[in-house]
Each structure stands twice: as structure tokens, then as C-alpha cells.
Amino acid sequence: MTNSFRVSKANHLRRRLADHAASALAVAATIIVVAPLVAIFVYLLYKGASSLNLDFFTKIPKGPGETGGGMANAIWGSAILLGIGSLLGVPIGIAAGIFLAEYGRGSKLANIVRFTADVLNGVPSIVMGISVYSLIVLPQKHFSAFAGGVALGIMMIPTITRTTEEMLLMVPHAIREAALGLGVPNWRSVLSITLRTASPGVITGCMLAFARVAGETAPLLFTALGNQFWSSSLNEPIAALPLQIYTYAISPYDDWHRLAWAGALVLILLIMVSVSLVRYVTTRGVLKGAN
């Protein structure tokens, strides 16, 4: 009598083959995902590393055709623009996410906010630039770092809002009940318990938004404009790494091309460093013992 539960030899072999095939597919997919990043990074290192020196970080650009000079003003300008953008985008984005997940659940307003955020996420960045141009630059009659920062900030909001909402919804209901059961007011429970429990995911969302706008060129063309000189004023045009890379890359000078490659490398490195730094600080401080 045959036992139908027992796996025959041939059957067993077939299962093992299927298992290996599935693993191989997963590994292949992983390689396809990682390969472009590695390729870009290696190519940037190859093209840009040789032009990186102290001057690149300390000098401002030289005139057209002259060799030497650096991108100190563009690095500084990007820092200012991203600072303004984050100051605007992170609090508004997180607050809107809290509204969606904790207060507006199922309400009409929440559905409108959620839909708006999703549409805003899909708006081409050049359109964002033109909008901020007509809202801030035209009335003020001049380009400014402030306008650039606002454009980047608005672009950060939808990503942060939607990830914050998703992450807050993942916090178990039992945790909220525990806080309410202790007689903690709802707002306090939302900020100190729910948001704190969800903070690793919320921070990831903020970092994603930050990294995305750090490389944006289009919204800055109409707002921050770019600047060949050192500037820290929020009321004047300011340089930014992506803008500077763009200007140099379309120029006819070999030396500027080399600087553009170096600028692209620095931009990627700066994004990587700031993202890792935030992750390091937050996992050590706020979330210690959070597993």
C-alpha cells in the first residue's frame, strides 16, 4: 500500500529544483536593483574623484575658460536651501501625517488631504518651480534662496505626510490603548507614544524626501536661480550643487566638465553622509533599547 503523504524521490527532486530556482530569481532581482546604484557610483568616482581637492571645497568658481576654482558656494547654497526646505517640509509633513492617521481617519477632509498629497507627489518638479516663481519670485521681483527653499520644502511635504501616516497606522492599537488607559490626554499620547513608536519609519520618510529634493534642479531654476559668488543672504539668488552641475555640464569647457563630475560625486556623497548621520544619531539617542 502506498502512503500518499510520503514524497517520492522524483517529487522530492522537483521540489528542490523549484526551491533553488526561486532563490536564484530573488538573488537576480536583488542584483538588478543594486547594480545601477553601484554603476553610477563607480562611474562618478572614476570621472570625478581626480578633480576633487581642497580647492573644490574652499574656492568659488573661476570665470569662464579659466582653470581651477571650486564649488564652495554651491555646497553652502545647497545646505541653506535644504535647511529651509526641511524646516518647512518636515514639520508640516509630519503634522499632516498625524492628522491623517490619528484625527481625520475616514473624514472627508482627510480624504481630500490624502488625495492632494498623492497628486502633489506626482506634480513634475518644473511645475513646482514655476508655481513658486509666480507665488514668491514675481511679487518680490527678484530670485532668492528663500523661494528656492520653499519650492524644495513643498516638494518634501507629500512624501513625508504619506509615510508618516503609514507608519503611525502600523503602531498597534494596544499601545494607544495603554497610553489612554493611564489617563494620558490624547494629544500627548499621539506625540509621546504613537509618533515615538513610529519614529524609525517617520525618519526614513523624511530622509527619502530630503534625498529626493537634494538633487532637484528644475524647481531651483525659477527660484534660487544660481549664483557664481558666495552668498548667505536668503533674499538673493543662491548657488546650489545641482544647478552648478547643470551649468558646468552644458558649458564648452573641459575643466568645467571635470568640475561637474566632481560636483555630482560630492552631491551623492553628501546625501549618503547626511542620511547615515541622521540614522546613526536617531538610533542611538531617541530609540535606544527600542527593539
Partner 1 sequence: MGVGIQVDNLNAWYGSNHTLLDINLHIPANQATALIGPSGCGKSTFVRCLNRMHETNPVAKVTGSVRIGEIDIYADASPVEIRRRIGMVFQRPNPFPTMSIYDNVASGLKLNGFRNRRVTDEVVERSLQQAALWDEVKNDLKKKSGASLSGGQQQRLCIARALAVDPEVLLMDEPASALDPVSTAKIEDLIFQLKSQYTIVIVTHNMQQAARVAERTGFFLSGKLVEFDSTHKIFTNPGDKRTEDYITGRFG
Residues touching partner 1, count (CB under 8 A): 24
Question: In this chain, which stretch among 92-100, 116-124, 133-141, 283-291 interacts with partner 1, using CB under 8 A?
Answer: 283-291
Q: Please give the residues from 131 up to 190 whose contact with partner 1 meets the rule CB under 8 A.
A: 172, 174-175, 177-185, 188-189
Can residue 192 be called a binding residue for partner 1 (CB under 8 A)?
A: yes
- Smallest gap, in angstroms, from Cβ of residue 110 to partner 1? 13
Of 152 and 198, CB closest to partner 1: 198
Minimum CB separation of residue 289 from partner 1 in Å reads: 4
The SS3 call for residue 69 is strand
Cα–Cα distance measured from residue 226 to residue 177, given in angstroms and rounded to the nearest whole number: 51
Q: How far is the CB of 167 from partner 1 (least distance, A)?
A: 13
Long-range Cβ contacts of 46-55 (<8 Å, 24+ apart): 47/258, 47/261, 47/265, 48/258, 48/261, 48/262, 48/263, 48/264, 48/265, 48/266, 49/262, 49/265, 50/258, 51/258, 51/259, 51/261, 51/262, 52/262, 52/265, 52/266
Please tell me the distance from the alpha carbon of residue 96 to that of residue 115, in angstroms, as a whole number: 12
Q: Which is nearer to partner 1, 199 or 247 (CB)?
A: 199
Task: Candidates 2-10, 160-168, 193-201, 222-230: pick the segment binding partner 1 (CB under 8 A).
Answer: 193-201
Q: Residue 165 or residue 216: which is nearer to partner 1 going by CB?
A: 165
Q: Which is nearer to partner 1, 76 or 99 (CB)?
A: 99
| b/e per residue 224-236 (b: at least 16 CB within 10 A) | bbbbbeebeeeeb
Nearer to partner 1, 139 or 183 (CB): 183
At closest approach, how far in Å is the CB of 156 from partner 1? 25
Half-sphere exposure of 140 (CA within 13 A, CB side): 17
Task: Report how far residue 205's alpha carbon sits from residue 156's, in angstroms, rounded to the nearest whole number.
Answer: 9
Of 67 and 111, nearer to partner 1 (C-beta) is: 111
CB of 6 to partner 1, least distance (A): 36
Q: In the complex, what is the shortest distance from the CB of residue 192 to partner 1, in angstroms, rounded to a whole number?
A: 6
C-alpha cell at 198: 513610529
Shortest separation between residue 103's beta carbon and partner 1, angstroms? 11
Q: Site for partner 1 (CB under 8 A): which residue of 193, 203, 224, 225?
A: 193
Q: Is the Cβ of residue 91 or residue 181 nearer to partner 1 in the bound state?
A: 181
**Of residues 221, 224, 67, 62, the one with CA closest to residue 148:** 224
- SS3 call for 216: coil
**Positions that interact with partner 1 (CB under 8 A):** 172, 174-175, 177-185, 188-189, 192-193, 196-197, 199, 286-287, 289-291
